[in-house]
Amino acid sequence: MIKTQLEAALIVGKVLTGASLTAVLQTAKHNNLTLSSQQRGAIQDLSYGVLRFYGQLDALLDQLLKKSLKDMRLRYLLLVGLYQLQYSKSPPHAVVNHAVSAARLLKSGKGTQGLVNAVLRNFLRRREVLQNEVMKNDVARYSHPQWWIDKLRRQYPRNYQAILNANNQRPSMTLRVNQQKIDVDEYQRLLEESGLGTQLIWNGAIRLTKPVNVQGLPGFTAGLVTVQDAGAQLAARLLDVHDGMRVLDACAAPGGKSTHLLETANMALTVLDNDSERLVRLTQNLDRIKVKAMQLVCGDAAQPAQWWDGKLFDRILADVPCSASGVVCRHPDIKWLRRESDLLQFSKNQLKILNALWPILNKGGKLLYATCSVFAEENGLQIEAFLSQHSDARQLTLTQAEMIEGQLLPDSQHNGFFYALLQKS
């Protein structure tokens, strides 16, 4: 446990000073080949857990420390220890003893082991009082930054607590069945026969009661199934694609929605993304499912002049880059890395992309604008602004019952998404 605590503390430290958790975990995996897969799993669990509850753990630590620590690595290690004591099944004495040994490895001066021991034991002794005290504060109570809580409270006065709580849950694993190859019922039976518990959500989305490694999924390599959140699985149906259409997936990588589109109808699909590395992953996904895009382009969706062949599209999917505020349970680092001011930049960029794609859509054609955000600035307000500037655009009503004006809020079944379907006259 010593190694995993220490490694998790260093990872948490990197994230809290600005790096993305996915990227840091990836680098740690490459750099530390001596770790077993079990240790890697434990490090990942600890890093995700600390970031999920960082608001609360940080406030508890402030209560426990008399003065600030010179070596921030020690603080990150204490956060890991507190997380384990609060949320894991590890025996408390083992957590404390191992954290003390891990502190020794940090070589951060005299007295550090004693300090780690005292802080963690003190927490165990005074847990209830401390907890009651810190929970008076929003950031500790919901483990989200104050600006985020305030914004959700303003935009969703009735749902903000449910959204914040959903963001702090462990994510579930949901599958999309390739219905070109197998019926949903039949695939669900295969899962159950493999001992996996399932729950049907909608349109063939199957949620597993417990996440598994993809290689353990029947027919994964043969392309029978793809891991995709149920909310993301709405895009292909909402876009209303049919055989023979010219379709553009404008922000396509890594291809979750492109492959779904290609499973839905026999179309001429152009996939576009401005990130060449992510396009490689998209190609691998197309290959696994054995579907083909007509054209694969690395380019800027806001600059069609650089890549467009001049033929109008019948359908466009604009799954634009966004704050990702709807997928916090999968990426708990997001809430600590984003700044409120980022939203303005995201929304400017989104509008630029939307404005650039509109002219290359055929008359009568449909464009589906999508984000995995819950903030109105990137969603409803964005579409309002767009419609006020384009008299040839009208917004079509979406029929998915779980959505409120195109907004799907995160809960235990799916992540948060926003969809707006626009038709050109």
Ligand X SMILES: C[S@@+](CC[C@H](N)C(=O)[O-])C[C@H]1O[C@@H](n2cnc3c(N)ncnc32)[C@H](O)[C@@H]1O
* Between 115 and 251, CB nearer to ligand X: 251
Contact residues for 254 (Cβ-Cβ < 8 A; gap 6+): 278, 281, 282, 285
16 vs 356, which CB is nearer to ligand X?
A: 356
- Written in H, E and C, the secondary structure of the chain is CHHHHHHHHHHHHHHHCCCCHHHHHHHHHHHCCCCCHHHHHHHHHHHHHHHHCHHHHHHHHHHHCCCCCCCHHHHHHHHHHHHHHHHCCCCHHHHHHHHHHHHHHHCCCCCHHHHHHHHHHHHHHHHHHHHHHHCCCHHHHHCCCHHHHHHHHHHCCCCHHHHHHHHCCCCCEEEEECCCCCCHHHHHHHHHHCCCCEEECCCCEEEECCCCCHHHCCCCCCCCEEECCCCCCHHHHHCCCCCCCEEEECCCCCCHHHHHHHHHCCCEEEEEECCHHHHHHHHHHHHHHCCCCCEEEECCCCCHHHCCCCCCEEEEEEECCCCCCCCCCCCCCHHHHCCCCHHHHHHHHHHHHHHHHHHHEEEEEEEEEEECCCCHHHCHHHHHHHHHHCCCEEEECCCCCCCECCEECCCCCCCCEEEEEEEEC
Interface residues with ligand X (CB under 6 A)? Answer: 232, 251-257, 272-275, 278, 300-302, 319, 321, 353
Q: Considering the complex, what minimum distance in angstroms separates the CB of residue 121 from ligand X?
A: 45
In whole angstroms, how close is the CB of 350 to ligand X at the nearest point? 9
Query: How many other CB atoms sit within 10 Å of the CB of residue 96?
Result: 20
Does residue 209 contact residue 201 with C-beta atoms inside 8 Å?
Answer: no
Strand-pairing partners, residue 369, are: 318, 420
Dihedral of the alpha carbons of 236, 237, 243, 246, in degrees to the nearest 10: -50
**396 phi and psi angles, rounded to 5 deg:** -90, 150
Q: Among residues 106 and 232, whose Cβ is nearest to ligand X?
A: 232
Residue 329 is a catalytic residue: no
Which of 280, 268, 366 is closest to 315 using CA atoms? 366
Site of tokens 């003390």: 100
Nearer to ligand X, 83 or 386 (CB): 386
Question: Whole-number minimum distance, CB 252 to ligand X, in Å?
Answer: 5
Report the catalytic residues: 372
